[in-house]
Chain A
Amino acid sequence: MKDRIKESMSALCDGECNELELRRVLNYVGSDAEMREEWRRYQLIGALMRDEPAGAVDLSGRIMKALDDEREFVDVIEEDQTDAFAGAVEQPVARKTAGGMPQWLVSGAVAASVTLAVLAGARIVNEQSLSEQAMFAAQQPVKAEVAAPAAPVSQPAMVASTAKSVPAVSAEELSQAQQVLQQYVLEHEEQAAGVAESDPFARVANFGQNGNQAKPR
């Protein structure tokens, strides 16, 4: 096995080894000091044969050590910076607690305010979605005329109960909204019938070209 790796290493010296062999050689060089020495001696043989600078001096050990030290130094600096940052974040809390308020009270107050904010936000979002549902529900009879789907029993009841929280809409506005929605539904029915299910984007692209007017069926 080692001979095969050495042969790959010999081929690497000559630029004749493939990527897989290179990885294998690097794995061995990293884990086996003798293999690394082998590489050094192969290089030495070539250099001596060609009468190039060569010698027993090996600077690679100290160079790699210097790189390792530098890396460790960078790691330590990064750790220090992280600690300093963490300290900067923690500092205000520490000051407050030093001001007389127990830490658990501060934490509790923060948690409570976050919970309140979430609840308030959820309420606003809920109201908006309910008003949209109410608008949609108002069109249900129209849609039922066009597509005649089986309307769920629970939906009108839900709309009836939530419609109270929706701002008042005049009869005229409601009528306009119904007309617009009716047009959309009709167009959708027409286009959906003419376009294959596997080509949904074509339907979207054609929507504007055909106009928004409802065509008689």
Chain B
Amino acid sequence: MNNETTSDQQLVARVQKGDRRAFDLLVVKYQHRILALVGRFITDHAEAQDVTQEAFIKAYRALPSFRGDSQFYTWMYRIAVNTAKNHLISRGRKTPTQDIDLDDAAFFADEANMKDVDTPDGLLQRDQLRAVVFEAIEALPDELRRAVTLRELEGLSYEEIAEAMDCPIGTVRSRIFRAREAIDKKMRPLLSATA
């Protein structure tokens, strides 16, 4: 079980206990991936956003019966695909002849697909943001850069990073947090300027 799954399971459990704030966090986390997925079916940006919204609402309604047999994202992925297909059928349009494989869920949602649904302004902003993030990472002290890179790019757990960096888990946790804060500080002006 990877760490993303653990985080999702915690949030899903909270939603199932009636905590809507936890669902809000899940939406924030997955909205862009789901939007990119829906964008493979529906190229119109506004329409894709509407379908993404509908998919999340359906997921929220169905969450009480979600037993956690699959990962939350895989489950959400299925809902989004079905919602997009049903949307096309209801509009009298054809669904893509080649079905999207569930195994591709983690891989297909790449930049190229995002370009299909994002507006030119959105794409420009994304490129700018990405450049700022990597500049900020370059400017980080070595131990912070290593910790956040091992976590975000390599997907290592805190325990594995602690072992790799030969330091306590608490230190890893603190370093990753400080790295995020430093990146966020550089990124924030760009986000507030476009908001």
Given contacts A51-B111, A63-B27, contact A15 B3 (CB under 8 A): yes
Contact: B153 with A57, CB < 8 Å? no
Once bound together, how far apart are the Cα atoms of A53 and B113, in whole Å? 8
Cα(A40)–Cα(B181), bound, Å: 13
Q: Are A7 and B35 closer than 8 Å at their CB atoms?
A: no
Task: Say which residue of A11, A19, A30, A54 sits within 8 Å of B21 (CB atoms).
Answer: A30
Check: A88 CB closer than 8 A to any chain B CB: no
Q: Inside 8 A of A43's CB, which chain B residues have their CB?
A: 28-29
| Complex Cα spacing A76 to B70, Å | 35
Segment from B88-96, B97-105, B123-131 that makes contact with A: B123-131
Interface set, chain A 131-186, CB cutoff 8 A to B: none
Contact with B along A48-60 (1 / 0, CB 8 A): 1111111111111
Closest A residue to B137 by beta carbon equals: A49
Residue of A nearest to B31 (CB): A59
Distance, CA A17 to CA B24, complexed state (A): 18
Residues of A within 8 A of B28 (CB): 36, 39-40, 43, 58, 60
With both beta carbons as reference points, the residue of chain A lying nearest to B190 in the complex is identified as: A56
| Pairwise interchain contact A14-B7, C-beta atoms closer than 8 A | yes
Name the residue on B nearest A57 (C-beta): B122
Asked if A84 lies at the interface with its beta carbon under 8 angstroms from chain B, I say no
In residues 158-195 of chain B, which contact A (Cβ within 8 Å)?
158, 173-174, 176-177, 180-181, 183-184, 187-188, 191, 194-195
Contact B110 A59 (CB under 8 A): no
State which residues 72-87 of B face A: CB under 8 Å.
Answer: none
- Of all chain A residues, the one with the shortest Cβ separation from B60 is A67
Task: Looking at the assembled complex, report how far the CB atom of A26 sits from the nearest CB atom of chain B, in whole angstroms.
Answer: 5
Chain A residues near B133 (CB-CB < 8 A):
45, 48-49
User: Which B11-33 residues have a C-beta within 8 angstroms of A?
Assistant: 11, 14, 19-25, 27-29, 31-33
| B187 touching A53, Cβ below 8 Å | no
With A14-B176, A19-B10, A63-B57 already in contact, the answer to whether A55 and B114 are too (CB < 8 A) is yes
Contact A54 B32 (CB under 8 A): yes
* Residue of B49, B110, B183 with most chain A CB atoms under a 10 A cut-off: B183
A64 touches B24 (CB 8 A): yes
Q: Does B43 contact A (CB under 8 A)?
A: no
Q: Does A79 belong to the interface (CB within 8 Å)?
A: no
- Interface contact A52-B10, CB-CB below 8 Å: no
B3, B109, B125, B183: the one contacting A14 at CB < 8 Å is: B3
- Shortest distance from the beta carbon of A184 to any chain B beta carbon, whole Å: 55
Contact B24 A54 (CB under 8 A): no
B120 → A minimal CB distance (Å): 12
Q: Are A53 and B32 in contact (CB under 8 A)?
A: yes
Contacts of A63 in B (CB 8 A): 27, 31, 53, 56-57
Complexed CA–CA distance, A70 and B49 (Å): 18
Q: Which of B111, B114, B177 has the most CB of A within 10 A?
A: B177
Q: CA of A48 to CA of B21 in the docked complex: distance in angstroms?
A: 24
A10 at the interface (CB under 8 A from B): yes
Contact between chains at A67 and B57 (CB < 8 Å) = yes
Residues from chain A with Cβ under 8 Å of B111 in the complex: 51, 53
Among residues of A, the one whose C-beta sits closest to the C-beta of B4 is A15
| B126 lies within 8 A of A55 (CB) | yes
A214 within 8 Å of B (CB atoms): no
Interface of A toward B, CB cutoff 8 Å = 6-7, 10-17, 19, 22, 26, 29-30, 36, 38-60, 62-64, 66-67, 70
The 9 closest A-B pairs by CB, nearest first: A15-B3, A15-B6, A15-B7, A53-B36, A53-B114, A10-B177, A53-B32, A60-B27, A30-B21
